[in-house]
Amino acid sequence: MNALYIVHEIVKKYTPQGGVAVDATAGRGYDTAFLCDVVGKDGKVYAFDIQESAIASTKQLLDSQGKTATLILDSHANMDKYVKDEVDVVLFNLGYLPHGDHSIYTHYESTKEAITKGLDLLKSGGVMCVSIYYGGDSGYEEKEALLPWLKTLDDSKYQVLATFFHNWKKDPPIPVIILKH
Ligand SMILES: C[S@@+](CC[C@H](N)C(=O)[O-])C[C@H]1O[C@@H](n2cnc3c(N)ncnc32)[C@H](O)[C@@H]1O
């Protein structure tokens, strides 16, 4: 069991074929490619990243697998400028680009803005998964601010499930699942 497994199982359960998906942190494109599989050829996937190298990696991976997504070189905090559909699923994988520049990573203020916008775009019955990676070069600031803020989301609109690998040592990721009523 790991964070990826939990998130992927939830996404498969809640996302219909032909659905609309947003990967808020494209990185190397593994989640973008996964979302393409989940929504199928009639679906639509948007993927954001602020690093050209991440967008290029994602494009290369998708091309190699014959998949397509709308790749956007911009902050996920601006997702409302690009995504005009109602969406079924939004994924965040916080932290820095694996095998990339560890000084570029997600930050609380823009993540909070992006989560807020993503929740507005989400359909009723849709799901958002935020995997909080922290520690190491990206530190603890984002996680320390995000968890209390997520607790304040209106419980008449959202169910927020934070999952902890409780006995793991050394900064285990925290998958947070948000279901929109
Ligand atoms: C942990 S990686 C994502 C891994 C990715 N899901 C994958 O499958 O490879 C986090 C990514 O978030 C990106 N990022 C950081 N701040 C961002 C922002 N404001 N908007 C969009 N992406 C951002 C980083 O450039 C990095 O590529």
User: 55 CA distance to ligand 1 centroid (A)?
Assistant: 10
Decide if 174 contacts 95 (C-beta within 8 A): no
Helical spans, DSSP H, in the chain:
3-14, 30-39, 52-64, 79-82, 108-121, 141-151
Query: HSE of 76 in the Cβ direction (CA atoms, 13 Å)?
Result: 33
Q: Sort 167 into a burial class: Cβ within 10 Å, 0-12 / 13-18 / 19+.
A: exposed
Residue 113 to residue 60: CA distance in whole angstroms: 29
At residue 168, φ and ψ (nearest 5 deg) are -75, 140
Distance of CA 153 to the CA centre of its chain: 18
The confidence score (pLDDT) of residue 142 equals 97
Candidates 28, 50, 60: which one to mutate for ligand 1, based on the most atoms within 8 Å of Cβ? Answer: 50
- pLDDT in 10s for each residue of the chain, 181 residues: 999 999 999 999 999 999 999 999 999 999 999 999 999 999 999 999 999 999 999 999 999 999 999 999 999 999 999 999 999 999 999 999 988 999 999 999 999 999 999 999 999 999 999 999 999 999 999 999 999 999 999 999 999 999 999 999 999 999 999 999 9
Decide if 90 contacts 121 (C-beta within 8 A): yes
Residue 103 to residue 137: CA distance in whole angstroms: 7
At residue 174, φ and ψ (nearest 5 deg) are -120, 100
Candidates 23, 31, 49, 103: which one to mutate for ligand 1, based on the most atoms within 8 Å of Cβ? Answer: 49
What distances in angstroms separate CA 93 from CA 17, 42, 130, 150, 155, one per listed residue? 22, 25, 6, 16, 23
Query: HSE of 86 in the Cβ direction (CA atoms, 13 Å)?
Result: 8
Q: DSSP assignment, residue 29?
A: S
